[in-house]
Amino acid sequence: MSLADSDRELVVEELDREPTPAEAALFENLWSEHCAYRSSRPLLSAFDSEGEQVVVGPGDDAAVVALDDETYITMGIESHNHPSYVDPFDGAATGVGGIVRDTLSMGAYPIALADSLYFGEFDADHSRYLLEGVVEGISHYGNCIGVPTVAGSADFHSDYEGNPLVNVACVGLTNEERLVTAEAQEPGNKLVLVGNGTGRDGLGGASFASEDLAEDAETEDRPAVQVGDPYTEKLLIEANEQLVDEGLIESARDLGAAGLGGASSELVAKGGLGAEIELERVHQREPNMNALEILLAESQERMCYEVEPKNVDRVAAIAERFDLGCSVIGEVTDGNYTCTFEGETVVDVDAYFLGEGAPMNDLPSEEPEQPETDLPEVDLEEAFDAVVSSPSTASKRWVYRQYDHEVGVRTSVGPGDDAAIIAIREAEQGLAISSGAAPNWTDTAPYEGARAVALENATNVAAKGATPLAAVDCLNGGNPEKPDVYGGFTGIVDGLAEMCETLSTPVVGGNVSLYNDSVAGPIPPTPTLALVGTKDGYDAPPLSVTADADDGATLLLVGDLGLEGEARLGGSEYLAQFDGSDRFPALPDDPAALIETLAAVADDDATRAVHDVSHGGLAVALAEMVSDDAGLEVSIPVPESADETVAAAALFHEQPGRTLIQTDSPDAVREAFDGVAPVVELGSATDDGRLEVTVGDRTIATDAAAIRERRETIERELE
């Protein structure tokens, strides 16, 4: 990839001369889709990013949200999609490293990670190879740096075959006194580079992330993939903590896309300032590096700090204590952004023009067509087996058991539940975290599917008794120059923005990843949302039902059975398994009231268990609630004369916002949801570990052991 002719003309007009090779490379990378959001920025104004508790919104390395007057959390999310295809281990690992350094640059300590992963069909050898490498990379890096991976998702869809997605979110902890931003403060302050030595790895990573993957990408693009060192990152985390504690940092930026050139120019541009940088002063780990390599290499585990001159020696001493490299590479000025190398000026541009001057794209867009209804005729028991054992709905235990999700002793509810809960003892609050998307939903209906993704994540949090607080998004799409692809991408942006605003959940930051296209075609539009909510205390109702000797608890479904009017199975795993199509189901009329009521009911003393109904529909949710100690007898009230299509709709449709609640006070639950959502009594728990589901005149009978075997699809194939 090189600087486009139209862009070069703008640069020449601004500089009144031809750019130097280093300048041209800087503009190529910083004006790429990956850095400048040229196709997506015009759409992002749809998001509401403001709120009473929002301290720092979009535009910084991470967002900052207040839990109370003294305690802040940071939130960030990043994609490492192309690197993870080319080199799954290092691509995924460095994605973790990058989002953690975004957290550090805000003066925060990282306390939790969430990973949302998307691969091609699970039965394809290449998909399993990518899955194994990505999970190993995330677990290796996260475990080594001591940050727990507590939440996430993993989905499989044929359209990810040539371009998997690896989205990683990070939550950090800070307060008002410790808060740092990426906005340079004062001319005369020094720019100090701390961390790993600079090598040649990751050259051109930003531009590589802004183009379609070619057929030979796994070999040809490997030099664009960074190589991570989590042990150095751990030292950097602890050094950063001490630097912030001692108040030595005026502003900070981690070195990610476009390396030193990107971090240092963006830092001063945000402050309306410039810089003078001497590139030969950068500590290096490879010999004979030239100016362009030093400027653009994306070597990992590096931070750029603005430091007052009087504090430079102390910063260097702390870096030395943690065995980290440290270079005073220049200073902040009130002029241009300039870089010299061995006495020669190689860059001399206006920093704001470099960072913000890229023209936005005005692209044609086509609205997606509504799918026609083509429902398969499948035996109900066969469908139950197929959906419950599908890799997308099956247990993800093989993935998350490789992660240390308890390090840091804050994890109250770990992975495998609807949402994780982290103890924020500083504010005496539990922080619930849910992260994921639903490619079947947004492939079927981008706008409605994205609304459903937001509601689904909010439901996960509310099922643990938490109220949604804020969210960050990772908007993944294919080549935006294709009108149908851009139409789908526009749909997910608008849908996500609309539902988050409805739920009074500000979207405080995020990431955009386009050109996720390969010879296999574009990915489905994929709006990953990482949403957090808060609650008093750290306890939450379990996902599994309980049974005891004097059991009187009732199992209720809150939400639509899908039997009124025209049943819609669109976007369901059932149709994905049996090659059908249908329109996406309608969403609840008042989702905000639904989420508020659910959070209150989940925290009620009479509530024994709560589980949201989503991927795989009622069939999967019921299967997940039974254990060896407690089963369920369920009767779904459909007419006995109902055909297989009606029974399938009841069991497998995936309208979001629905939950199963086991309660000692069913009347109180009905009263709470009166006027908000329908409540249907389904049955009760048993003490034999069996699941019996009667739908009209059909009964599916199984037990916890058989369900467990069905749901071990991923584990069984990879071990």
Residues placed in the known binding site for Mg(2+): 78, 102, 254, 511
User: Binding site: which residues?
Assistant: 37, 78-82, 101-102, 226, 254, 298-300, 473, 510-511, 513
Whether residue 387 contacts residue 617, with contact meaning beta carbons closer than 8 Å, is answered with yes
DSSP label at residue 104: H
* Known catalytic residue at 34: yes
DSSP label at residue 18: P
Whether residue 612 contacts residue 595, with contact meaning beta carbons closer than 8 Å, is answered with no
| 583 CB-side CA count, 13 A | 9
Element (H, E) at 327: strand 325-333
Cβ partners under 8 Å of residue 157, min gap 6: 118, 119, 120, 121, 392, 439, 440, 443, 524, 576
Tell me if residue 138 falls in helix, strand or coil. Answer: helix
Whether residue 270 contacts residue 310, with contact meaning beta carbons closer than 8 Å, is answered with no
Choose among 466, 507, 512, 508: nearest CA to 489: 512
Q: What angle do CA 359, 5, 290 make, to 5 degrees?
A: 95
Spatial distance between the Cα atoms of 706 and 351, rounded to a whole number of angstroms: 62
Alpha helices in 560-703 (DSSP H): 573-578, 591-602, 617-625, 644-652, 666-672
User: Binding site for ATP: which residues?
Assistant: 37, 473, 510
What are the residues facing 170 on neighbouring strands?
Answer: 76, 113
* Known catalytic residue at 611: no
Whether residue 284 contacts residue 373, with contact meaning beta carbons closer than 8 Å, is answered with no
Terminal alpha carbon distance of the chain:
41
Cβ partners under 8 Å of residue 673, min gap 6: 558, 594, 597, 601, 679
Question: Which one is catalytic: 80, 140, 611, 653?
Answer: 80
What are the residues facing 663 on neighbouring strands?
Answer: 554, 607
User: Binding site for substrate: which residues?
Assistant: 79-82, 101, 226, 298-300, 513
The residues carrying an active-site annotation are 34, 80
